[in-house]
């Protein structure tokens, strides 16, 4: 491999996968191995990181995720990389040598992390509150609903805005009240929890929390039972339960990407 070539990294795994297949744009996958089986699944890359039209980027991201998911479905314990992690050569040092040196230098912590992720999956849980349901029996909201009947359209618009403010304020207050309880309960049925700060609730729903959970494969039902209990206790709760996925949110790996490829 020449210095002009770089390595696009999909995941760090324990044990070289047989016949890793192809990756983005059909690129043949390769495996960089050090020590007793610590590996990085890569493809040989020339040029700059992947950028382009939105449709192209979406396709590349899906193809990257497909590689990670395929390895995971085959039973590999892995640390998934995010899209566009590319290791470049540096002067006399090839990209492969740089990646091997990084794997070797961090092998102990990487193997510990892989041990922690063995037979684990990532689940995403989003809990919100339906504003209308929260305010269904509130006296101030009921009064505004009663006032709506028979009023002219212009007045109705103003009253609906007032009703929406009341519903929102009530729901915001309840969401703040429930946040710590729900977070504690979900932390109690998972090994690790991380919050998804960029999650957005659908219209008419106020978010209580959005989290990713790391759980054992065989304990996924425990999370489902806890969410069912929350739904039974709180009629306004709106719950999304997604996964299982490879543990993207719990990889916590940073490879030596600099200098930039190209």
**Residue 99 pLDDT > 60:** yes
pLDDT score for 1: 39
**Residue 24 pLDDT > 50:** yes
Residue tagged 């309880």 (tokens):
181
pLDDT (average), residues 211-215: 96
pLDDT tens digits, 30-64: 999 998 789 999 999 988 899 999 999 999 999 99
Confidence of residue 261 (pLDDT cuts 50, 70, 90): very low
pLDDT (average), residues 161-189: 93
Say whether pTM exceeds 0.85. Answer: no
pLDDT tens digits, 146-157: 767 777 777 768
**Residue 2 pLDDT > 50:** no
pLDDT (average), residues 76-91: 90
- Give the closest residue to 24 by CA, choosing from 63, 50, 51, 55: 63
- Give the closest residue to 19 by CA, choosing from 27, 10, 31: 31
DSSP string, 204-254: TEEEEEEEEEEEEGGGHHHHHHHHHHHHHH-TTEEEEEEEEE--GGG----
E strand spans, 68-189: 78-80, 86-87, 120-130
pLDDT score for 257: 57
Percent of the chain with pLDDT over 70: 93
pLDDT (average), residues 238-253: 88
Question: When comparing pLDDT for 245 and 252, which is higher?
Answer: 245
pLDDT (average), residues 58-79: 94
């Amino acid at each position: 491999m020449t210095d002009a070539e770089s390595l696009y990294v999909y995941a760090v795994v324990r044990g070289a996968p047989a016949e890793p297949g192809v990756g983005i744009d059909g690129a043949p996958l390769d495996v960089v191995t050090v020590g007793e089986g610590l590996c990085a699944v890569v493809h040989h890359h020339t040029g700059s990181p992947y950028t382009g039209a939105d449709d192209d980027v979406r396709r590349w991201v899906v193809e990257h995720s497909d590689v990670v998911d395929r390895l995971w479905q085959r039973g590999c314990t892995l640390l998934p990389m995010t899209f566009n992690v590319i290791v470049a050569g540096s002067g006399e040092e090839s990209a492969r040598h740089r990646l091997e040196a990084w794997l070797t230098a961090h092998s102990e912590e990487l193997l510990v992390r892989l041990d922690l992720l063995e037979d684990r999956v990532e689940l995403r849980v989003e809990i919100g509150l339906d504003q209308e349901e929260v305010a269904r029996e509130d006296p101030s909201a009921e009064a505004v609903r009663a006032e709506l009947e028979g009023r002219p359209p212009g007045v109705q618009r103003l009253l609906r805005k007032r009703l929406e403010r009341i519903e929102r304020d009530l729901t915001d207050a309840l969401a703040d009240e429930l946040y710590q309880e729900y977070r504690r309960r979900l932390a109690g049925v998972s090994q690790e929890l991380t919050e998804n700060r960029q999650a957005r609730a659908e219209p008419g729903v106020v978010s209580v929390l959005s989290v990713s959970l790391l759980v054992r494969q065989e304990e996924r039902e425990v999370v489902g039972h806890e969410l069912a209990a929350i739904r039974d206790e709180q009629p306004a709760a709106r719950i999304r339960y997604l996964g299982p996925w490879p543990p993207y949110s719990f990889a916590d790996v940073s490879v030596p990407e600099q200098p930039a490829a190209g």
